[in-house]
Amino acid sequence: MNTSIYNYMSKTTASIHIQPTIENDELAKLLGGQKKKSLPKSIRKKVRTARQKLNKLVKPSLHYRIVKPSAMDNDVVQLDEAIEFTSAKLAKTLKNAEEIVCFVGTIGTGVENEVNRLLGKQKLADAYILDAMASVAVENMIDRFQNLMEIRFSAEDRTVTLRFSPGYCDWPVSQQKKLFNIFNPKQLNVELLDSCLMKPRKSVSGVFGITPQGSESYNPCRDCPTRRCESRRN
């Protein structure tokens, strides 16, 4: 596994390099199947070609900070950076957190540029498959980052919560601005647009908590009636 961790700019800010992998079943879901083998042979062939291209285009970058919460109530999480996140479900998820990991990650602009090139040539299927693979890749990178943090803190008898991104559940996407304020924008390879969308598109930001081992773990999906949500975590 190509993974390295090093200090970046200050003691509390770090950058981690994780080369993402493509989980076949996750890709199949985006392409309309249940598992890889359920996809038509013609699609599987295009996936193999796109995979080779993707490996050359992906430029992973992930920055994170670990900060302490200074206050917590029913719908507000306040950090020691004098930043407040407003979300009842986020506050409930992080209520036992001793520290909070804030992160911004991307796989770069290469895939996005190639998708646009393919669209310009009317190669719609190729563009769609490559775009789907890029979505799986960036989520895989963040999953692996969180797993690494879980392993790291298990040595301290601590664990991590589910992660949240602005726009998820009741956390307004507009609070993306507050999350980005935790970082020096010059450190990031991601630009936050006025719309609160990120550039490059294949980027993910969010937070998760670090709690004592055995703490009550809250999953907001268990209280949600929307069963067909793609982001549902059982």
Digits of tens for pLDDT over the chain (234 positions)?
A: 334 333 333 346 799 999 998 888 888 888 776 655 667 888 888 888 899 899 999 999 999 999 999 888 889 999 977 899 999 999 999 999 999 999 999 999 999 999 999 999 999 999 999 999 999 999 999 999 999 999 999 999 999 999 999 998 899 999 999 999 999 888 899 999 999 999 999 999 999 999 999 887 777 767 666 666 666 666
Output the CA–CA distances (angstroms, integers) from residue 27 to 2, 34, 50, 126, in the order listed. Answer: 21, 9, 12, 14
CB 151 within 8 A of CB 159: no
- The pLDDT assigned to 32 comes to 73
**Widest pairwise Cα distance in the chain:** 54
Which residue ranges form the domains of the chain, and what is each CATH number? 3-223 (3.40.109.40)
- The pLDDT assigned to 194 comes to 94
Q: For residue 206, give the amino acid letter.
A: G
CB 2 within 8 A of CB 17: yes
* b/e per residue 63-80 (b: at least 16 CB within 10 A): bbbebebeebeeeebbbe
* Whether this model's pTM surpasses 0.75: yes
CB 31 within 8 A of CB 43: yes
- The pLDDT assigned to 5 comes to 36
